[in-house]
Chains A and B, each alone.
Chain A
């Protein structure tokens, strides 16, 4: 009983006050034959033993401190300033719950309000909510919001093939009972014109990603044209973005997006094998009441002092029950806090410099690789921090060679999700990647190309 305070004597006093003789009597409503089942679990560990066991399990992994990694594909290694861990590690934040009682939760509420403010500023939108579980679920909630926000009942959803594959899969999982017609992403080379051709009078929304899953940055003027055309058909445009890119790139609020969402992990949250992450979600004010998720708002107290509360809660499940459009309650508040601290401490100058370094280093890496015979950069337009490399050898062989011989994770294998591209690797470069690592990657890839040449000889 590692964390139970009461002693046997105290328990005896409490049982007497309740009027029963033993704790087991409190469970008389549990059917008798089902009480106290056997649990086949390992013996309890002391703290010291648990630390040893977990330390050993952690050490069994080869983490990114031990290899040189160019793996991205939606989860990124960025610099996390020390203050983020320090401040988010304050237990006044992490051992509180949802700020239902605002007078004793002003810390969490103001932090959420500041997070919302900075997300709205970053995306160029009018409002943001307090978070979703991750980028994929934020995208599913964007689709559901669009279905509720458009006039009349519409059932078609157009997804770009370069929207993150997991985001697309989660949209399908979430909406499988809604009778939707989800189109667009099966044509792997569908561009904006092709997507627009699918956007009919029955379409609730078009969802694109920028920079897209393959790293390409789309031009704001083309996106604005897409937005105008989508709006003319009475539908909404939702844009998934990498928040780091917005330190450098035009925000979607400036090219007509109605919803801007995405994976916020890059904002001060460790990779942590895929979670917990952060789904950020920004929108125009006109659609606020159709949105899901918690939102903090500013108000005053009985003395007229500024304070914050959760607001618009009538949209939520605890009030609307079966009429609610989403069931979300717990969100990723602590991750939103991390993002708020990250954005505050990196600030205007810091985020710009992170974005610029990602961009310049990625261009350098792509240039180096493009000079190696046998390799080809596939992206047609400019790219931000990821780009697609077509390889002379199958991607899995390339990856194996680089990992074993060089200790390099060269990127994400695109052959399963984008077979039409051929033997392609998605390479990610951030401000964490050094020139030496990029040079080593180029050298290693050249070695693979030589092996490929030898094989064909």
Chain B
């Protein structure tokens, strides 16, 4: 059933909530040219119930984590704990204006400070900015920091960024935005960065390398220490794309592996809701020498001696137990500048903070272990059955793996057909046609929160679909049959652009 739009539902004269009567005298309005005619505001006219029914019905047209297994590779669609919604909605947070004096917002700043400290501890970095609004903005922040670092040293030749061919599209796009040039690196036969190509590419014009580890093939970089060492020896910096941190949280610290700067995706690893496409949050961690370049303001501690002593002794968690300090804003000396208004996606940061507090060190490590276990389990089930090729099947995958929609005995079936058919089985499809270097890619990331029963049912569905592909290919070609709509015409949408309707 198609749902009418808010404009189709509109009925002249209807209205929603009303405001209290105006309690001040009417003032003269500016000249007519300043004003929009009262009837020239083209918004819909609806009752509150109209609006409620409309958006409730729309919500029911979505697949979501709360309704469906959602193994969208590279997106870490894990369960979003409900406590996070509750705490982010506390009026002590939601009714806080970002420009209130710091003395009025110490509780909120405490959340930010501790989150900075915890992310630094988890990753091994010296300093963290919470400001970036999403992973891509974190990348831009990181690459601008790399650029600023080289320029600050007077090393103006370094204008190239090395990007593996398996990288997310954001990596090359970010590089271009930062005014630097992309040099693509091939992958080797085991899915790692090709060390020979890396050595050839490295010279004194390279600002750095962008490394996703585990990479988008779901593989841990086998020569990660060699890769980071080679880049450093050539005077470059290593950017870590933290999109896949869920695989190694608590298992390894990226900074210890030689990463100099990395963004976190709080909406992936730290379970803040994806919101239908956002908001996310993309804090960035850096090693000591890059800390002066972070965007500001950051939260810092003005403390007494006892507190300073505890911190110096490495008791970061003491910050949580003492109140011998005041929190303040500060901007690092060589900051690249702010990357957004105010302090960051605060509501998202509160959720991530709560998530970390509920896990502790041990709990965080269990996340990675179970995410990797779940991915390897689906992979093992598919390999045992044999219909689906898996890229780099011989290697242990991390939190995700890339299967291929290339089925023996079903030459006309493509990954998209399998994806659409999965909808009929009640599943959100995996990521399709990414990474680009794998033909007919079907990238599966189950996450740690799914049970074995769910994983088995999903593997059974994929296997069943492979059989349907051989026996009744039309069933796949015409899929979905049971979704909200039949297959949608994307070509028509792009040719006859209809982007709004009033």
Let me know if chains A and B touch directly in the complex, using CB atoms closer than 8 Å: yes
**Is A159's beta carbon under 8 Å from chain B?**
no
A61, B106: Cβ atoms under 8 Å? Answer: yes
Assembled-state Cα–Cα distance A170/B253 (Å): 31
Give A59-97 as 1s and 0s: 1 = Cβ < 8 Å from B's Cβ atoms: 111111101010101110101010101110111111111
Residues of A within 8 A of B85 (CB): 89, 94
Interface centre among B55, B77, B180 (most CB of A within 10 A): B55
Residues of A within 8 A of B196 (CB): none
7 closest A-B pairs by beta carbon, nearest first, are A177-B179, A274-B342, A58-B92, A60-B107, A274-B98, A334-B275, A44-B360
Residues of B within 8 A of A250 (CB): 33-36
**Is A354's beta carbon under 8 Å from chain B?**
yes
| 27 A-B pairs in the complex with CB atoms less than 8 angstroms apart | A4-B366, A23-B372, A26-B396, A28-B396, A29-B222, A30-B251, A31-B257, A40-B314, A40-B316, A41-B118, A41-B364, A103-B487, A103-B488, A113-B500, A121-B42, A173-B144, A176-B144, A251-B36, A270-B347, A272-B94, A273-B97, A276-B347, A309-B490, A314-B494, A317-B173, A321-B169, A321-B182
State which of A42, A89, A316, A356 has its C-beta within 8 Å of the C-beta of B320.
A42
A327, B170: Cβ atoms under 8 Å? Answer: yes
**Is A120's beta carbon under 8 Å from chain B?**
yes
Closest to A349 in B: B15
Residues of B within 8 A of A300 (CB): 488-489, 492
Give A318-331 as 1s and 0s: 1 = Cβ < 8 Å from B's Cβ atoms: 11111111111111
Q: Given A96-B64, A311-B494, A322-B173, are A133 and B487 neighbors across the interface (CB < 8 Å)?
A: no
Chain A: residues with Cβ within 8 Å of the partner, total of: 209
**Is B158's beta carbon under 8 Å from chain A?**
no
Residues of B within 8 A of A328 (CB): 134, 136-137
Closest to A128 in B: B500
**Is B66's beta carbon under 8 Å from chain A?**
yes
Determine how close the nearest CB of chain A comes to the CB of B58; give it in whole angstroms: 4
Interface centre among A81, A108, A295, A330 (most CB of B within 10 A): A330
Determine how close the nearest CB of chain B comes to the CB of A265; give it in whole angstroms: 9
Determine how close the nearest CB of chain B comes to the CB of A353; give it in whole angstroms: 6
**Is B324's beta carbon under 8 Å from chain A?**
no
Assembled-state Cα–Cα distance A75/B100 (Å): 11
**Is B404's beta carbon under 8 Å from chain A?**
no
Residues of B within 8 A of A346 (CB): 16-17, 43
* Further pairs besides A6-B373, A300-B492: 10, Cβ < 8 Å: A30-B251, A50-B358, A60-B106, A93-B64, A101-B428, A112-B277, A117-B502, A174-B339, A273-B108, A327-B136
Closest to A14 in B: B377
**Is B312's beta carbon under 8 Å from chain A?**
no
Give B151-195 as 1s and 0s: 1 = Cβ < 8 Å from A's Cβ atoms: 000000000000100001110111111111010000000000000
Residues of A within 8 A of B15 (CB): 347-350
Determine how close the nearest CB of chain A comes to the CB of B193; give it in whole angstroms: 13
B6, A170: Cβ atoms under 8 Å? Answer: no
**Is B359's beta carbon under 8 Å from chain A?**
yes
Residues of B within 8 A of A318 (CB): 168-170, 434
Give A17-46 as 1s and 0s: 1 = Cβ < 8 Å from B's Cβ atoms: 111000101111111001111111111111
**Is A454's beta carbon under 8 Å from chain B?**
no
Residues of A within 8 A of B273 (CB): 91, 94-95, 334
A301, B16: Cβ atoms under 8 Å? Answer: no
B222, A344: Cβ atoms under 8 Å? Answer: no
Tell which of A192-200, A217-225, A442-450 binds the partner.
A217-225
A37, B489: Cβ atoms under 8 Å? Answer: no
Residues of A within 8 A of B124 (CB): 37
**Is A154's beta carbon under 8 Å from chain B?**
no
Determine how close the nearest CB of chain A comes to the CB of B269; give it in whole angstroms: 13
**Is A149's beta carbon under 8 Å from chain B?**
no
B93, A302: Cβ atoms under 8 Å? Answer: no
B363, A39: Cβ atoms under 8 Å? Answer: no
Interface centre among A111, A354, A412 (most CB of B within 10 A): A111
A177, B493: Cβ atoms under 8 Å? Answer: no
State which of B61, B91, B295, B478 has its C-beta within 8 Å of the C-beta of A110.
B61
B277, A117: Cβ atoms under 8 Å? Answer: no
**Is B285's beta carbon under 8 Å from chain A?**
no
What is the interface of chain B mostly: helix, strand, loop, or mixed?
loop
Tell which of B19-27, B197-205, B231-239, B468-476 binds the partner.
B19-27
B147, A47: Cβ atoms under 8 Å? Answer: no
Assembled-state Cα–Cα distance A413/B109 (Å): 21
Assembled-state Cα–Cα distance A190/B72 (Å): 51
A99, B276: Cβ atoms under 8 Å? Answer: yes
**Is B483's beta carbon under 8 Å from chain A?**
yes
**Is A166's beta carbon under 8 Å from chain B?**
yes
B278, A334: Cβ atoms under 8 Å? Answer: yes
Tell which of A227-235, A241-249, A387-395 binds the partner.
A241-249
Q: Given A93-B64, A97-B277, are A170 and B339 neighbors across the interface (CB < 8 Å)?
A: yes
Residues of B within 8 A of A45 (CB): 357-358, 360
Assembled-state Cα–Cα distance A261/B325 (Å): 40
Assembled-state Cα–Cα distance A210/B441 (Å): 48
Residues of B within 8 A of A324 (CB): 169, 172-173, 176
Assembled-state Cα–Cα distance A63/B346 (Å): 15
**Is B303's beta carbon under 8 Å from chain A?**
no
**Is A376's beta carbon under 8 Å from chain B?**
no
A173, B336: Cβ atoms under 8 Å? Answer: yes
B62, A108: Cβ atoms under 8 Å? Answer: yes
Residues of A within 8 A of B136 (CB): 317, 327-330
B360, A347: Cβ atoms under 8 Å? Answer: no
Residues of A within 8 A of B251 (CB): 27, 30, 35-36
State which of A37, A56, A79 has its C-beta within 8 Å of the C-beta of B256.
A37
Assembled-state Cα–Cα distance A179/B449 (Å): 47
Residues of A within 8 A of B428 (CB): 101, 104
Residues of B within 8 A of A144 (CB): 177
**Is A271's beta carbon under 8 Å from chain B?**
yes
**Is B369's beta carbon under 8 Å from chain A?**
yes
State which of B66, B121, B267 has its C-beta within 8 Å of the C-beta of A91.
B66
A220, B33: Cβ atoms under 8 Å? Answer: yes
Assembled-state Cα–Cα distance A106/B1 (Å): 11
Determine how close the nearest CB of chain A comes to the CB of B153; give it in whole angstroms: 16
Assembled-state Cα–Cα distance A54/B335 (Å): 31
B350, A54: Cβ atoms under 8 Å? Answer: yes
B341, A307: Cβ atoms under 8 Å? Answer: no
Q: Given A30-B251, A44-B358, A134-B133, are A277 and B24 neighbors across the interface (CB < 8 Å)?
A: no
Assembled-state Cα–Cα distance A219/B6 (Å): 32
**Is A161's beta carbon under 8 Å from chain B?**
no
State which of A61, A170, A350 has its C-beta within 8 Å of the C-beta of B96.
A61
State which of A11, A53, A344 has its C-beta within 8 Å of the C-beta of B6.
A344
**Is A453's beta carbon under 8 Å from chain B?**
no
Assembled-state Cα–Cα distance A348/B11 (Å): 11
Interface centre among B41, B121, B134, B366 (most CB of A within 10 A): B41
Determine how close the nearest CB of chain B comes to the CB of A385; give it in whole angstroms: 12
Assembled-state Cα–Cα distance A165/B372 (Å): 45
